Structure 1
Amino acid sequence: MYVMKALLSRKLSALGLFIISVIILAAILAPWITPYPPELQLFEGLTLEGAPLPPNSQFWLGTDLLGRDLFSRLVYGAQTSLIIGVIANGTALFIGTLVGIVAGFYRGVIGAFLMRFTDLMMAFPALLLAIVLAAIFTPSLWIVAMVIAMVNWVQVARVIYSETVSLAERDFIVAERSLGASNFRILFKHIAPHLIYSTIVFGTLGISTTVLLEATLSFLGVGVQPPTPSWGNIIFENQTYFATAPWLVFLPGLGIVSLALGFNLVGDALREILDPTMKGKH
């Protein structure tokens, strides 16, 4: 409750919450607020020359190159971005936290192996690695989510590892060891609770990165495949009409930027609120 009040008291984080809430609400209510199914091609959705229609009373945001209602595809595209954002980021957060906490607590051979593997993964450009993985597997919503998770966990692992190493040297942990506490008890009762705030911040900020990466993969043709709507593949499909029908590219681009901005604003505010060393700096 305190965190929510603190977020609402800040103008930028309140704006971020508003943007996120609007997009989530639209995605949830998609079947009821969209006038057409997102994959439905309409003959009246094209001009006599076969070009997309501009925004009008029947098609609120116009149509795409196949005569599909752009508003419907954008709203359902929000579903795709949010599903991938939550699943991919949640999976990356779980893997990164598990690797970081195990490596930081046990160290030695186990820690060295896990962190060298993390360094190896970090050596590959994330986008290039994601493109390679997406090209190997048949692209689908779930495959794209897993591919993004596999390239995004390394940053989480690095930060959690550093925090775990620092916590493991604290006096209260040394005291627990001297009292004969098990590793399980130390890990989950004394170390893990101190990492909750970091994972919350990473979870919020990571969604914006995930949304941008999904849009990039879809734009390059190795992400979510049509006819499933995605903001990235909407831009990819309609890029040839950028000069004559710019709304086909501008509107999904605006959706991507808005969602990423919303989560970044909230994530930055959470970092200031939950990190005591940053209080009073905003």
Structure 2
Amino acid sequence: MRIAREFLRRPTAVFGLIVVLLVVIGALAAPLIAPYAPDEQLFDGLTLEGAPIGPDAAFLLGTDTLGRDLLTRLLFGARTSLIIGVVANGTAVAIGLGVGMLAGYLRGPAGNALMRFTDLMMAFPALLLAIVLAALFHPSLWIVAMVIAMVNWVQVARIVYTETRGLVERDFILAERSLGAGHGRIVFRHVLPHLMPTAIVWGTLGIATTVLLEATLSFLGVGVQPPEPSWGNIIFESQSFFTSAPWLVIFPGIAILLTALSFNLVGDALRDILDPTQRGRM
């Protein structure tokens, strides 16, 4: 209840949550509310010269160069972005949480080895590494999700490692050890619950980064492949028609911007609420 009350006091966070809920509802209900099939090519969506139709009563956001309804493709593209965002970011948070917690708890040679590997992964530019990994495999929705997870877990691991190092020196952990508690009890009963607020915050903030990275990979042609709709590949397919049909780029760009911004607003609010050091500064 306290978290909900503090969250509702932040207008920007409420705005972000409303947008996120609208995107989620639109993605889940896409087959029910989309006026057409995502790959349906409509003769009414093209002019006699073969140019796409702009926004009108029949096509609220216009059509693309193949006569497909843009609103429909944006709704189904939201499903792609959210699936990749949740799966990729959830996997990244789980890997980062496990690696960081083990390294911080074990310390010594094992912990140092895990963190040196993390540092090695952080040395590679995330976008460049994602492009290389995506190019090595046949791009698909699930391959793209795993590629993004493989490049995004390192930040979580570094944060969790630092927090775990501080936790294992706390008096209640030392008391548990003196009472003979095993490693499993200490980790799962005491260390992990203290790390969950960090995991929740990074899980929310990371979705925004994941959506942007997926759109970037799809725009570069190594992400989700057509005809499966993705906000990134919608822009990629339409970039050369920006001057004659700007709605093909503007509307998916707005969708990416609002979704990423909204997840960031929600994540920032959760960080302020769940982090006791941030609460002291409010």
Fold match (TM-score > 0.5): yes
Question: 1:280 deviation in Å?
Answer: 5.5
Aligned letter for 2:76?
Y
Aligned letter for 1:117?
F
What secondary structure sits across from 1:115 in the alignment? helix
Q: Tell me the number of residue pairs that the alignment of Structure 1 and Structure 2 aligns.
A: 282
Q: Match for residue 96 of structure 2?
A: 96
Q: 2:185 matched to 1:185?
A: yes
Q: Match for residue 266 of structure 2?
A: 266
Q: Match for residue 36 of structure 2?
A: 36
C-alpha separation in 2, matches of 1:230 and 1:183 = 45
Which stretch has the larger CA shift, 39-48 or 115-124?
39-48
RMSD: 0.9
C-alpha separation in 2, matches of 1:156 and 1:240 = 38
Question: 1:219 deviation in Å?
Answer: 0.3
Cα distance per residue 1:159-189 (max 9 Å; x no partner): 0000001101111111111111100011011
Q: Match for residue 81 of structure 2?
A: 81
How do residues 142-157 of structure 1 correspond to structure 2 at under 5 angstroms? 142-157=142-157
Q: 2:71 matched to 1:68?
A: no
C-alpha separation in 2, matches of 1:21 and 1:5 = 18
Q: Match for residue 159 of structure 2?
A: 159
Aligned letter for 1:230?
S
Q: 2:236 matched to 1:236?
A: yes
Q: 2:18 matched to 1:18?
A: yes
Aligned letter for 1:180?
G
C-alpha separation in 2, matches of 1:41 and 1:135 = 29
C-alpha separation in 1, matches of 2:256 and 2:281 = 29
Q: Match for residue 253 of structure 2?
A: 253
Question: 1:5 deviation in Å?
Answer: 2.6
* TM-score of the aligned structures, taking structure 2 as reference length: 0.98
C-alpha separation in 1, matches of 2:146 and 2:3 = 30
Q: 2:123 matched to 1:135?
A: no
C-alpha separation in 2, matches of 1:246 and 1:261 = 22
Question: 1:2 deviation in Å?
Answer: 2.6
What secondary structure sits across from 2:232 in the alignment? helix
C-alpha separation in 1, matches of 2:50 and 2:69 = 15
Aligned letter for 2:191?
I
Cα distance per residue 1:53-79 (max 9 Å; x no partner): 101111111100111000000010001
Aligned letter for 2:155?
Q
C-alpha separation in 2, matches of 1:17 and 1:281 = 23
Q: Match for residue 208 of structure 2?
A: 208
C-alpha separation in 1, matches of 2:172 and 2:272 = 26
Cα distance per residue 1:189-244 (max 9 Å; x no partner): 11111001111100000000000000000000000000100000000000011111
C-alpha separation in 1, matches of 2:112 and 2:85 = 30
Aligned letter for 1:70?
L
Q: 2:74 matched to 1:113?
A: no
C-alpha separation in 2, matches of 1:228 and 1:40 = 12
* TM-score of the aligned structures, taking structure 1 as reference length: 0.98
C-alpha separation in 2, matches of 1:5 and 1:203 = 21
- What are the ranges of 5 or more consecutive residues in structure 2 without an aligned counterpart? none
Q: Match for residue 218 of structure 1?
A: 218
Give the % identical residues.
Answer: 66
What secondary structure sits across from 2:109 in the alignment? helix
- What are the ranges of 5 or more consecutive residues in structure 1 without an aligned counterpart? none
